[in-house]
Structure 1
Amino acid sequence: MLIKYYPFILLFNPCVSGGVDLFCVKNGFKYLNDEINLEPHLEEFITQTKWLKQKLDHFNTTDQRDWKMKYFKRLSYWRLNGPIYLFLGGESPVSPRWAETGIMYELAKETNGALYVAEHRYYGESRPLNGTDAEALKYLSARQALADNAYLLKYLKRFSIYKNSKVVVVGGSYSGNLAAWMKLLYPDLIDAAIASSGPVLAKMDFYEYLEKVSDNYEQYGTKKCLGKIEKIFKRYDKLMQSAKGIQLLKEEENICEKCNLSALENQQIFFGVKVGEFMSISQYGTAEQIKDHCKILLNGSIYQHNESGIPPEESTRNNCTCYDFDETIKGYYSKENDWIISWLYQTCTEFGYFQTTSSDEHPFTNNMPLNFYIRMCHKLFGPDFDEERVNRGVAAVNDLYGALSPNVTNVVFSNGDLDPWSTLSILKDLSNNAPAIVIPGSSHCRDLLSNRDNDIVELKEARKAIKNLVKKWIGAEC
């Protein structure tokens, strides 16, 4: 059995689970949905699945094509004049569990609100057009998605029961951007917004991501941890320079013999996978987990640093598997995971977010350069998707939404200070009515979940502060 890796280290990182032929994606919104789905079911499942006809292109009056958008509805706690809460879907299929647990659910329960969860166009079952090429995806953009959500809210507001209802939008990761941008573009429709871990600054060469990962391991890891990481990656780099070194690396890492590690792109994919382990722990973990990871690194051999701490031959060969880093981007995809391509399209046309190694302020060597990602755009979507086109898209997004200075009020921007994505987010108050909450020791979007017993005090206090702000802005203070 071969385990294929693909170079998609954007808002997600590749991983392997249990030696099974599995492409495990940990992007921001997919991870969030997985987390919310793990929350215990405390009540009977009573969320309804609904569909709404949407325009294919909201900005072309001559194009009358339409499609159906999936959303979820729950009115268990709603009372007349209560607010509408809308959770904005992001870059993966959306879960109805956002109407059953988490900070939005708690707000609705405390303020007699109606709960809605919307799926983003081109993700999950909400697909305006079939296909994963550039022509099929041309109507995929944040602006079109924002218009979809605006139309959903206007549709709801047509019902007399919602005539006096305030509207609160909630989102995390990319959908955290959408929450803030909804308030920007539709200020008369939106009364308040929670923008959790939203990287509102589009950036092509996102070298700051790995700088933050490095900072986390320096600050929270053991004393010699950063030096050990540097030795590991420099050794990888050196081994890649010779046939003998490549063969040794294949044996140590259980890489398939047929895999051509002499090819530059395959080497870059290898480095992406190895760096992804540190990215994942930094983005989703805790300070304690970073320290534990460092202990494993320091106690192991120079090459032993998979997540379990088990040498590669023990963790994979017992399952008769080997790892293959040959780059075959399009061959992997099926209808079950075409949303991955949708997100890559958005990074290539709007956001960049390419987590490069172009900075010198990290220990991971420079083996994931910008052109690695540009080639990905080119191969997936055609020769027109070059660096210039990515740059144009990034500039247009920052110009439209205001980058780190959006002109918004009644929006709370929250970030965990461990989260590498926070380096593209708003970390200081824009105004009294657009505050920033930075949560010490917390990671990506953790504030959107409900309190857990092992949550740190700072995280619980942040959730309380966020809820109090929303209640104040919609006039629902106790």
Structure 2
Amino acid sequence: MALQTCGSLLCRGTLFILFCLSAVAEGHFKGFRRLTGVQDTAVHEEQWFTQKLDHFSGADSREWKQRYFVNEAFYKPGGPVFLMIGGEGTANPAWMQSGTWLTYAEKLGALCLMLEHRFYGKSRPTVDLSTDSLRLLSSRQALADLAHFRTKMAEARGLTNRKWVAFGGSYPGSLAAWFRMKYPHLVHASVATSAPVHAAVNFPEYLEVVWRSLASENAECPLLVKKASDTLEERLKDPKTYDNITKDFNLCSRLQIQTAVDSAYFLETLAGNFMDVVQYNEDNRGFEGAVGTNITIKVLCGVMGDSSLGDPYARYAAVARLMMDTLSMKCLDASFSNYLRDMTNASWDGPGAGGGRQWVYQTCTEFGFYQSTDSPNQPFTGFPLVYQVKQCADFYNVSAEQLAEAVAQTNEYYGGYNIRSTRIVFPNGSIDPWHALGITQDITPDLPAVFIKGTAHCANMYPARSEDLPQLTLARNHVFLLLQQWLKQ
């Protein structure tokens, strides 16, 4: 959950690690990855759509401006309309120039649109990010935004009778599936990549997949990580070690462990180095401005297996320094009090306004997704569910009971794994920890899964390259054939 600058968002996290459609990641939030956009307005200028503020209150006539992008280069009259769904970060116009969906668009003559998610990027419906304002941030409001956008855009462009296909990766992948389920008269088909469709307060399976993904490179690797994490946790109990730990991990200020939360935050921050790399292992995010893509599971396990660096604790510190060097970080901010200050800043100019404050709010009021160390079958220690849930109360005054009820309501509303629809394909990667909350086996012939061995989060969405695994190429081709088939129906 830490809000330090890192190059991965879904710098990890209690998801931030989810978003696949932006560019340079900035922090590790709760669950998905937030990618901040590169500037590309000379090619695809941002456009603005007048949107309703509250779709579920007929008495509320307030409106706001939502950002979107258009690519008409491949459109052929009578062709389909592809709608890329934005998520928990700034919509990156690089996706209007590259990506698998554009390859499909060229072959199928599609018009391509991308809509930025409310409360992220430049799509700011309210004057601030206060908890009261954030009550208008939810997946249900986002789906209603999509429905209204689709309806009005179709009317304005003469596309009412065209077949619309929704695309999304990570949280937007879930939105793509739910858009088809909740608005089947507006969406003909959906590609729901790396979509965690099942909400869960506690998500220890995330770290279990991290263990298996590290072990796939070297069976000793997660054991060494576990030993290092355990050693560090033990040292945190002795204030005499704090000066050395501060130096070892190049902290921005002297380590201060006054509560269990301080310890948990520090341990989670360091675990995030491995979580981020596993989630995006060997992907092709470079085109959108992502940094650190050269750091892979193989690189991390190489450091952890290098006995010349010292014991596992010393190697763990070496990984932290490697990540900081790669991401041009001068030091590591491991202060929970700083994180609390940043995350409770409700200004659009605040350090959490890039997506952290908004996304964590959504986890506290809809999804959970807390990647805790509550399982014995994972390589880290020290950041249990209770530590993460407490932040909902600290940041938004949401109690543990309210969180549990909200997550139950999400699954009740969308169905969790129990999906009843047609023409939705669910690609997932075996390395990606998020596949544990996704669809990895066919539900019906019209609700197929594409489980791609050896690939990470949203891998099938990125531009193809020569070093792609054969099964990744096959997966992209399979999705195209499904779209081709479904557009004839």
Which category describes the TM-score, using the shorter chain as reference length?
A: 0.7 to 0.9
- State the alpha-carbon separation in 2 of the partners of residues 186 and 204 from structure 1: 27
- State the alpha-carbon separation in 2 of the partners of residues 387 and 94 from structure 1: 32
Task: Let me know the Cα RMSD of the aligned residues.
Answer: 2.9
SS for the counterpart of 1:140 is: coil
1:344 partnered with 2:360: yes
Instruction: Select the residue among 114, 118, 132 that pairs with 1:117.
Output: 114
Residue number in structure 2 paired with 1:94: 91
Residue number in structure 2 paired with 1:293: 300
Residue number in structure 2 paired with 1:374: 389
- State the alpha-carbon separation in 1 of the partners of residues 148 and 330 from structure 2: 52
- CA contact 1:259–1:326 (8 Å) conserved in 2: no
- So what's the TM-score if we normalise by structure 2? 0.86
Kindly provide the CA deviation profile for residues 322-361 of structure 1, in whole angstroms up to 9, marking residues without a partner as x: 6442423353356354121111110000000111001111
Residue number in structure 2 paired with 1:164: 161
Residue number in structure 2 paired with 1:331: 341
Kindly provide the CA deviation profile for residues 75-96 of structure 1, in whole angstroms up to 9, marking residues without a partner as x: 1221221111100000011012
SS for the counterpart of 1:359 is: coil
- CA contact 2:174–2:192 (8 Å) conserved in 1: yes
SS for the counterpart of 2:120 is: coil
Instruction: Select the residue among 210, 233, 236 that pairs with 1:237.
Output: 233
SS for the counterpart of 1:246 is: helix
Residue 440 of structure 1 and its aligned partner are, at CA, apart by: 0.8
- CA contact 1:56–1:67 (8 Å) conserved in 2: yes
- CA contact 2:167–2:173 (8 Å) conserved in 1: yes
Residue 453 of structure 1 and its aligned partner are, at CA, apart by: 1.9
Residue number in structure 1 paired with 2:217: 221
- CA contact 2:28–2:272 (8 Å) conserved in 1: no
Instruction: Select the residue among 420, 426, 440 that pairs with 1:427.
Output: 440
- CA contact 2:278–2:431 (8 Å) conserved in 1: yes
Residue number in structure 2 paired with 1:396: 409
- State the alpha-carbon separation in 2 of the partners of residues 210 and 109 from structure 1: 38
Residue number in structure 2 paired with 1:18: none
Query: Which residue identity is paired with 1:104?
Result: W
Instruction: Select the residue among 61, 66, 71 that pairs with 2:68.
Output: 71
Residue number in structure 2 paired with 1:265: 261
Runs (4+) of structure 1 exceeding 6 A deviation are 5-8
Q: Once the two structures are aligned, what percentage of the paired residues are identical? A: 30
- State the alpha-carbon separation in 2 of the partners of residues 352 and 440 from structure 1: 27
Alignment of 1:129-168 (within 5 A): 129-159=126-156, 161-168=158-165
- State the alpha-carbon separation in 2 of the partners of residues 389 and 61 from structure 1: 26
- State the alpha-carbon separation in 1 of the partners of residues 94 and 478 from structure 2: 23
- CA contact 1:304–1:310 (8 Å) conserved in 2: no
Kindly provide the CA deviation profile for residues 241-268 of structure 1, in whole angstroms up to 9, marking residues without a partner as x: 2222334323322335643124321111
Residue number in structure 1 paired with 2:82: 85
Residue 434 of structure 1 and its aligned partner are, at CA, apart by: 0.7
Residue 456 of structure 1 and its aligned partner are, at CA, apart by: 1.2
SS for the counterpart of 1:303 is: helix
Residue 225 of structure 1 and its aligned partner are, at CA, apart by: 1.9
Residue number in structure 2 paired with 1:386: 399
Query: Which residue identity is paired with 2:361?
Result: Y
- So what's the TM-score if we normalise by structure 1? 0.88
Alignment of 1:142-221 (within 5 A): 142-159=139-156, 161-218=158-215, 220-221=216-217
Kindly provide the CA deviation profile for residues 120-175 of structure 1, in whole angstroms up to 9, marking residues without a partner as x: 00111111112222101011100100000111111122146314311000000000
SS for the counterpart of 1:51 is: strand
Residue number in structure 2 paired with 1:464: 477
Alignment of 1:286-325 (within 5 A): 286=282, 289-299=296-306, 300-301=309-310, 302-305=312-315, 309=319, 321=331, 323-325=333-335
Kindly provide the CA deviation profile for residues 154-210 of structure 1, in whole angstroms up to 9, marking residues without a partner as x: 112214631431100000000000000000001111111000000000000111100
Query: Which residue identity is paired with 1:409?
Result: T
Kindly provide the CA deviation profile for residues 100-124 of structure 1, in whole angstroms up to 9, marking residues without a partner as x: 2112211211111111000000111
Runs of at least 5 residues in structure 2 that lack an aligned partner in the other structure: 18-24, 284-294
- State the alpha-carbon separation in 1 of the partners of residues 222 and 362 from structure 2: 33
Query: Which residue identity is paired with 2:473?
Result: K
Query: Which residue identity is paired with 2:16?
Result: F
Which deviates further from its counterpart, 151-160 or 54-63?
A: 151-160
- CA contact 2:12–2:32 (8 Å) conserved in 1: no
- CA contact 1:183–1:192 (8 Å) conserved in 2: yes
Task: Look at both structures and tell me which one has the larger radius of gyration over its CA atoms.
Answer: 1
Instruction: Select the residue among 262, 265, 278 that pairs with 1:282.
Output: 278
- CA contact 1:197–1:422 (8 Å) conserved in 2: yes
- State the alpha-carbon separation in 1 of the partners of residues 329 and 473 from structure 2: 42
Residue 311 of structure 1 and its aligned partner are, at CA, apart by: 6.2
- State the alpha-carbon separation in 2 of the partners of residues 264 and 123 from structure 1: 32
* Structure 1 residues 468 and 137: CA distance shift in structure 2, 3 A: same
Query: Which residue identity is paired with 1:194?
Result: V
* Structure 1 residues 212 and 310: CA distance shift in structure 2, 3 A: closer
- State the alpha-carbon separation in 2 of the partners of residues 440 and 62 from structure 1: 50
- CA contact 1:206–1:355 (8 Å) conserved in 2: yes
- State the alpha-carbon separation in 2 of the partners of residues 374 and 310 from structure 1: 26
SS for the counterpart of 1:136 is: helix
Runs of at least 5 residues in structure 1 that lack an aligned partner in the other structure: 14-21
